[in-house]
Structure 1
Amino acid sequence: MVAVRRKRPPQRQTSQAVGISAPTKGIIANSLHAGGEGGEIGVEGAIWLNNFIAGEYGARVRTGTKEFATNIPDNDSINGAVRTIMYYNSVIAGGGSDFMFAATSSGIYDITAGGAGAHTLAHAWPVKGGAAGWISYVNYTNVGGDHFLLVCDEANGYYIFDGTTWTLANFTGNPKPLAEDLVQVCEWQGRIWFVERGTATGWFLDPLSLTGDITPMDVGNRFMKGGHLVQNTTWTIDDGDGMNDRFVQVSSSGDVLVWEGINPTKAADLHLIGRWFVGAVPEGRRVMSDWGGDVVVLASRGIVKLSELVQNSSVYTSEAELTSNITRYIRAEMGKSLDEYGWSIEIAPAENIAIVSVPRIATELNKAPIQFVVNINTGGWSMFKHLDIVCMDKSVSGFFFGTSDGRVMRLEGATDNASLDGSTSEAIKFNLLTHYSDFGSAGNWKRPQFLRPSWVGGAQPSYLAKVQFDFDLTEYNEVPPYSTADETVFDAAIWGTDTWEGTAQQYFETIGATGIGRHIAIAISGQTTSELSYVGCELIMEGGGIL
C-alpha cells in the first residue's frame, strides 16, 4: 500500500513592505512622533533633519560653501570674527562704483575684490573691541542722485560713507543726541530714523536729510513690559486703500508697536495701530527682518509674523509663529544665548530658504554650530550644521556669511569649506531621523528585515541607515568614510555601463535591519561631495502580535 502524500498548504507570507516618504514637511516638534493621529501610514515629518532642505520632492542636501575673502583681522587677531557684511550699491550701472565691506571689532575692511588680502582698512573704529563691528546700515540716494551708505555701529555710532570718505555725522538743534550714541538706522516716509543706545528714544531727521536738525520720539511710556528701544523698521502692506508704509518698533522686553502716518512732527498725523507682546528679544539690532510683504520678529517665544500678529487684536496666538513646528528648539537656544549678539534671520533667494543664525556661547564652542532653516515655499524646517555663521547678508553676487576666524564665505557648490583656489574642500555631512509610525497596527510588534533608501544625485552617496524603535530620539551621527565616486572618462568608460558624472541618477541599495519594536523610524547618516536628494525609503518587516 502506497502512502498518499498530503499537500501542505502554502506558507502564508508574513512580511510586508511599506513606503516611508522623505520628510518633506521638515522637522515637526510640536506633535506626536507617531505618524499622525489614528496611526495613519505615511511619515512626512522629521525629528532630526540636519544639513537638508525640506522640499516639495524630497529632502535636498544643502548647498556647499566656498571662501570669498580670508585673513580679515579684528582687534585681537589677524583672523577675527566678521560681525557685519554690507554693500554700497551705487546708482551707477555696471557695479564699478560698488563696494563690499566686512566689519570686525577693529574697523571696516574693503573686501570688494575678495581673496586672501591684505584687505584695505576703509575705516578704523575710534572705539575698538567690545560690541564694535555689529552694524545696522541703509543704502540711501538723495534727490540729486548722490548715493550714501548710512552706518550705525553698536560701539561707535552713526557714520556716512559717500563712496570715498567715512564721516561721523553732525546734528543741530536742542535737544540732540551724540552721533556716537546712535546704534540703529532705517528709513521711513523719506526720513532717516535712529535708535539711541540704552534709551527708549527714537530720533528722526528732516525729510531727505542725512544730518542737521534732529527730533526725539520717546516711546518708553508705550512699553508696558519696560526695556529699551531695540530696533525700528518699516512694513509695507496693502491695507485695502493701496500700499501703505507702517512704522514698527520693538523693545528689549518684547513690546511691539505698529504706527501709521506720514509726518511724526504732527500728533494728528501719526497714530498707534496697536501694541503686542512677543517675549524678550535677543541682543543686537537684527531682531526684525523683511519677509516678502511681511516683517518677522525674532523673540524668545519664537519667530513671529506681524501680519498674523495684528489680525488677532492684542492677543498673541501660536498661529502668528512662523516657527510653530520647531518653537521648542528655538526657545531652547534662545534660553542659552539671548544675551549674545548674532541672532538674525536672512533670506537666501537663490535657495528659496531663510536662515536663522544662532550665536555660539563660550561653554559650547566644542559643539558644531547650528542654524535653523525654513523652505519659504513649503514652510518645512530643518537645521544646518558645521557652518560657522557669525553674520550673513545677500547681494546680487550671492549669499554670504562671516565666520569667527576672519573669513567671508559664499553659499555655492556641493562641498564645504572650499578654499579660495578650489584645491581643498570637505564633504557635506548630513543626518536625519523620521517621525515614528505604527504603520496602522497600533500596539503590534514589528521586526524589520530590510530597508532600501532611495536617492537622486550626481554620485552614489556614502551613508549608513538603520531602524530606530519606540521613540528613541538619539541623533545618528556615525558617518562612513567617504569614497570619491569614480569619474567617467570619455573614451575610457564603457558605454551603457558606467555612469556619467554630473547627470542626476537614482541610487538605492538594500540594507539588512535588526531589532524589534512597536513604532519605527528610519535614521540615516552620511556625507556627499555632489548634489544629492533623499526621496524616501522602502521597509520590509514582519508583523507580530500585541504581546
Structure 2
Amino acid sequence: MAPNDAVVLTNMIPRQQGVELRKGWQKFSDAVEIDGVVQSVESVFGYRAPNPADDKIFMGAGGNIYDITAGGEPTIAVRFRLLTEDDDYLTAEDGDYLTTNDLTPSGEWWTTQFSTAADTFLLAVSPGGGYWTYSTSSGWVDRTATTTGLPSTVRTVAVWKQRVWFTAEKDSRVYYINTVNAITGACTAFPMGSTLRSGGYVSALVNWTMDAGISIDDFLVVIGTEGDIGVWEGTDPTTSTTFGLKGSWYVGPVPKHGTYFTQFGGDVMIISELGLVPMSRLINGSFSRDTQNTGPAAKIQSVFAPLVRRLREEKFFNVFVVPGSEVLVM
C-alpha cells in the first residue's frame, strides 16, 4: 500500500486532497426500556412527506414501532406486544407475549416509499409483522389482511415498474401486487428458483436504472442469499412476452441482515463475500475475485471481504450514501 494510503482512519474522513476531521456525534433519542431491560434497536427508518414539516423518523425496538421524530423519549406508533402500566410485557400462561393481533414482528423492518394518486406512502414489512403503510393523512395502517396471497413471513419490499414487490423468508418465489399503482390487492407469486443455482432463497429486490444501449430503462435485480443475481427486464410479469430474464451472475453470499446494497450514481453497490461489488462491473465481466482490487473499494477490499465472510450471519450490514458529506458508508 502506498505511504499516503491507509486501511483504517480514526475519526478522519478521506478526501481527494487529504483528510477531514470527523464532526462527531450527538444523542438523539432515548432508549426503550421494558421489564427493566434496555431494548436493542433493530431498525431505523424515515418517511419523506410531500410537505417536509410532516417528515417522520421511526425505529423498531422491543417488538413495536416507535416515533422518534422529535428526539428524546420515543412514543409508540404501532403496538404489537401488550404492556402493563409499568411498561412490562404481558404474557400468557405458556410464556408467549400477548399481542394486539396475531403479528409478532422481528423488529427488523424493511421499507421503501411509493406515491400513488391517493397519497405518498411508506411501505414497511417485517418477518412475522406483516405488511404496513404509513402516510401523513392515514397514519399507520395494517395492510396484511387486504393484500391477499402474501405470506406472513414477508421479508422485504420494493417498487418496480409501478408495482409493489415482496420477498419472503426462506422462499424462492417473489410476490407482486397485480394492480399497478396500488398498495393493496391480490398478490401473485412468481418463481425465481431457476436463477438460484447456488441454492438458498430470494434475499432482496432492487430497482436498477441503467442505460441498456438504446435507452435508459429500469431493471429488476433479484439477489439470492447464496450470491446468485438475476437481472430481469420488461414491464408486465403476467406474460413472458413482456417480462424475461436478461442474465444471471454470481456475486458471492450476501449478508443475512440489513440493507446491504445501495444506489450509487447510475450503479448499484452490493456487499457480499467478495467485498463491495458494483453491478455494472459484474455484468460486463470486469469484476471477479481476481480483479476485485481495482474496484471502488479497492484499498479496503482485502480487509473488508474477509469481515463479510466471517460476520455475514450477524446483525447488521448496511451501506448508504451520505450526500452532504460525500461519503459511502458501510
Shorter-chain TM-score tier: 0.7 to 0.9
Partner of 1:354: 328
Residue 226 (structure 1) aligned with residue 181 (structure 2):
no
Distance 2:205 2:295 in 1: 20
CA contact (8 A) 1:194 1:204 kept: yes
Residue 88 (structure 1) aligned with residue 47 (structure 2):
yes
- The equivalent position to 2:71 in structure 1, one of 111, 114, 121, is 114
Distance 2:71 2:271 in 1: 31
CA contact (8 A) 1:260 1:272 kept: yes
Give the partner amino acid of 2:309: G
Give the partner amino acid of 1:338: R
Give the partner amino acid of 2:279: L
- Could you give the per-residue CA deviations for residues 251-281 of structure 1, whole angstroms, max 9, x where no partner exists? 1100011111111111111121111111111
Give the partner amino acid of 2:68: I
Distance 1:102 1:78 in 2: 17
Over alpha carbons, which structure has the higher Rg?
1
Q: Which has the higher contact order (CA 8 A, sep 6+)?
A: 1
- The equivalent position to 1:249 in structure 2, one of 200, 217, 222, is 222
TM-score (norm 1): 0.53
Residue 275 (structure 1) aligned with residue 230 (structure 2):
no
Q: What are the residue-to-residue correspondences of 1:14-25 with 2, within 5 Å?
A: none
CA contact (8 A) 1:161 1:167 kept: no
Distance 2:308 2:104 in 1: 21
Partner of 1:202: 174
Residue 124 (structure 1) aligned with residue 86 (structure 2):
no
- The equivalent position to 1:72 in structure 2, one of 32, 36, 54, is 32
Backbone CA RMSD of aligned residues: 2.4
Give the partner amino acid of 2:78: H
Distance 1:280 1:82 in 2: 25
Partner of 2:142: 167
Q: Which SS does the other structure have where 2:156 is aligned?
A: strand
Residue 141 (structure 1) aligned with residue 98 (structure 2):
no
Q: Which SS does the other structure have where 1:69 is aligned?
A: coil
Which moves more between the two structures, 186-195 or 155-164? 155-164
Partner of 1:298: 271
CA contact (8 A) 1:125 1:132 kept: no
Residue 103 (structure 1) aligned with residue 77 (structure 2):
no
CA contact (8 A) 1:309 1:316 kept: no
Distance 1:98 1:54 in 2: 31
Distance 1:151 1:280 in 2: 25
Extract unaligned runs of 5+ from structure 2.
82-96
- Could you give the per-residue CA deviations for residues 476-495 of structure 1, whole angstroms, max 9, x where no partner exists? xxxxxxxxxxxxxxxxxxxx
- Could you give the per-residue CA deviations for residues 336-391 of structure 1, whole angstroms, max 9, x where no partner exists? 311112101011111100111xxxxxxxxxxxxxxxxxxxxxxxxxxxxxxxxxxx
Partner of 1:340: 314
- Deviation at 1:110? 0.8
Q: Which SS does the other structure have where 1:248 is aligned?
A: strand
Distance 1:48 1:315 in 2: 24
How many residues are paired up? 307
Q: Which SS does the other structure have where 1:332 is aligned?
A: helix
Residue 212 (structure 1) aligned with residue 191 (structure 2):
no
Q: What are the residue-to-residue correspondences of 1:145-156 with 2, within 5 Å?
A: 146-156=119-129
CA contact (8 A) 1:276 1:315 kept: no
CA contact (8 A) 1:102 1:108 kept: yes
- Deviation at 1:208? 1.1
Partner of 1:327: 301
- The equivalent position to 2:15 in structure 1, one of 42, 55, 69, is 55
- Could you give the per-residue CA deviations for residues 222-247 of structure 1, whole angstroms, max 9, x where no partner exists? 11101111000100112233321010
- Deviation at 1:82? 1.8
Q: Percent identity?
A: 24
Distance 1:121 1:160 in 2: 16
CA contact (8 A) 2:162 2:181 kept: yes
Distance 1:157 1:69 in 2: 26
Go from structure 1 to structure 2 and tell me whether the alpha carbon gap of 1:50 and 1:199 turns closer, same or farther (over 3 Å shift): same
- Deviation at 1:287? 2.2
- Deviation at 1:131? 7.1
Give the partner amino acid of 2:123: L
Distance 1:238 1:51 in 2: 38
- Deviation at 1:83? 2.0
Partner of 1:190: 162
Q: Which SS does the other structure have where 2:296 is aligned?
A: coil
- Deviation at 1:316? 6.3
Go from structure 1 to structure 2 and tell me whether the alpha carbon gap of 1:230 and 1:76 turns closer, same or farther (over 3 Å shift): farther
Distance 1:237 1:76 in 2: 50
Distance 2:288 2:27 in 1: 45
TM-score (norm 2): 0.85
- Deviation at 1:53? 1.5
Q: Which SS does the other structure have where 1:50 is aligned?
A: coil
Partner of 1:289: 262
CA contact (8 A) 1:69 1:114 kept: yes
